[in-house]
Amino acid sequence: MPEAAQISSSFPTARCAVCDRYVLTYLDFESGAELRRCVHCDGAVSDDLRWINASELEAEGYQFGAPAASGGGGCGSGCGTCSVRKH
């Protein structure tokens, strides 16, 4: 099922006004609503999400495929999201 594969390898990005670039976003449920925030500055981003795949994400400056350094944190599953969020 190509659709499922595409979804599982897509990442939500949006324009962050603070970082002045497209950034990876996460859902903040603590605010009581599904609010998208920037993984870098925690600032709210627009709802105009752009779902991109890993190679497109790398083009935006994110690193994929690098083995997690020992003790480097993250979930260790190689999902990429955790390692991005640590900074």
Q: Which residues contact 39 (CB under 8 A, 6 or more apart)?
A: 23, 24, 25, 26, 81, 84, 85
> What is the footprint of Zn ion within residues 43-82 (CB under 5 A)?
43
Among 13, 14, 16, 80, binds Zn ion (CB under 5 A): 16
Which range touches Zn ion (CB under 5 A), out of 1-9, 18-26, 50-58, 59-67?
Answer: 18-26
Residue 41 lies near Zn ion (rule: CB under 5 A): yes
Task: Read off the amino acid at residue 21.
Answer: R
Return the SS3 of 25.
strand
**26's tokens:** 């996460």
Residue 18 lies near Zn ion (rule: CB under 5 A): yes
CB of 42 to Zn ion, least distance (A): 7
